[in-house]
Chain A
Amino acid sequence: MNTRIEIANLQKRYGRKVVIQDMDLILESGKVYGLLGPNGQGKTTLIKCIAGLLTPEKGQILINGEMRETRHKGMISMLADKDLFYKWMTVQDTINFYDTFFEDFDRADSEELIRFMELVPQEKVEKLSKGMKARLKLVLVLSRKAKIYLLDEPLSGIDPVSREKIVETILDRIREDAIMVISSHMVHAIESLLDEVILLSNGKIIAKEEAEVIRSEKGISIDDYYLEVFRHA
């Protein structure tokens, strides 16, 4: 069963400031989208709107033709760029939480990933380094067999070793019936993962292209394409 996200006329404000303006976007099954742009241009806001953590003022988000609502959260797995966990939680507690509240969580998979990421189940989350916290968040998000994966800055501030493990894990879990959206300003690290790139500036989509088309038509990497676009934006 393939997945489809249709965003139409989306507008999101914070008070009086308009963060996303009249956005139209279609996301198709089996593709990995790179959501690129400088900070504060609407990447996180867009992701949170899809995830249902923010409510747009105007426009609509359709998932498989239906208006986005609470039950869709069961098919959306989001990695947030912030500290999610309660102080008392251990790594094991976070796994138990996901296992309890998400039907599509694969416990066996998570245990394997925990080992691969070299995380210790009994360790308190607040004691983990930034890199280990990032690894943990990724384990939880990717151990779910979700239909929509929203990864908001999965590599931000992460050491190169953690980065490589994270990229490898993401790669391994790309599926035909799922949509992946990865927002990052570390373009180089995720280049080979991306099918399409969406460039966001001031809450507007200023470019949406297939990665390989950019490479063949312009002969430059996505990283350089990003620089080119934003130099003139």
Chain B
Amino acid sequence: MKFDNNRPIYLQIISEIHKDLASGRLVSGQKLPSVRQLAIDYKVNPNTIQRTFRELEGMGMTFTKRGMGTFITEDAEMIEEIKISVPMKRLLKLYRNDWEV
């Protein structure tokens, strides 16, 4: 997974998770891989993953169950919002690119 080093990596990972939620690769209530595993998968420092998890939890997208791990929220509304907003963001991005070009 090649990240853009010009932007905070943790934000890009959050973006990835959003995308996975939108596409259904991640579902409500699903357990996320451990910090260590994600660090290896994404080839980044585990602290970056920690930060990602903190942000996700702060946003309400995930919750932790003591001793069991981090899980995607079961809040259906939030999931729906994400499912809509991701393609929206992509559209906006295309728009922006048009203007910039």
Chain A residues engaging chain B, CB cutoff 8 angstroms: 30-32, 167-168, 171-172, 174, 188, 191-195, 212, 215-216, 219-224
Residues of B within 8 A of A31 (CB): 47
User: Is B83 interfacial (CB 8 A cutoff)?
Assistant: no
Asked if A30 and B5 make an inter-chain contact with CB atoms under 8 angstroms apart, the answer reads no
Q: List 29 A-B contacts (CB under 8 A).
A: A30-B47, A32-B47, A168-B40, A171-B40, A171-B43, A171-B44, A174-B46, A174-B47, A191-B5, A192-B3, A192-B9, A192-B43, A192-B45, A192-B48, A193-B45, A194-B45, A195-B45, A212-B9, A212-B10, A212-B51, A215-B6, A215-B7, A215-B9, A216-B7, A216-B8, A216-B11, A220-B6, A221-B6, A224-B6
A188 and B47 CA atoms in complex are apart in Å by 18
Q: Using Cβ atoms and an 8 Å threshold, which residues of chain B touch A167?
A: 43
A221 to B9, CA, bound (A): 10
9 tightest Cβ-Cβ pairs between the two chains A and B? A221-B5, A216-B8, A215-B8, A192-B44, A212-B8, A221-B6, A191-B5, A195-B47, A193-B45
B39 at the A interface (CB under 8 A): yes
The answer for the CA separation of A215 and B5 in the assembled complex, in Å, is 7
In the bound complex, CA of A195 to CA of B10 (Å): 12
The interface bits of chain B over 35-65 (1 if a CB of A lies within 8 angstroms of the residue's CB, else 0) are 0000110011111100100000000000000
In angstroms, Cα B9 to Cα A222, docked, is 12
Q: How far is the CA of A167 from the CA of B43 in the complex (A)?
A: 9
Chain A-chain B contacts (Cβ-Cβ < 8 Å), number:
52
Most buried by B among A31, A195, A215: A215
Q: Are B39 and A171 in contact (CB under 8 A)?
A: yes
How many residues does chain B have at the interface if contact means C-beta atoms less than 8 Å apart?
17
Residues of A within 8 A of B9 (CB): 192, 212, 215
A168 to chain B, nearest CB (A): 7
Q: Which residues of A contact B51 (CB under 8 A)?
A: 212
Residue of B nearest to A221 (CB): B5
Give the residues in chain B near A215, CB-CB below 8 Å.
5-9
Residue of B with least CB distance to A176: B46
Interface centre among B5, B10, B11, B43 (most CB of A within 10 A): B5
CA gap between A168 and B51 in the complex, in Å: 20
The complex places the Cα of A171 from the Cα of B36 at a distance, in Å, of 9
Question: Chain A contacts of B7 at CB under 8 A?
Answer: 215-216, 219
B46 smallest CB distance to A (angstroms): 6
CB distance from A187 to the nearest CB of B (A): 9
Which residues on the B side are within 8 Å of A168 (C-beta)? 40, 43
Chain A residues with CB below 8 A from B3, complex form? 192
Given that A171-B39, A172-B40 are contacting pairs, would A32 and B6 also be in contact in the complex, using a CB cutoff of 8 Å? no
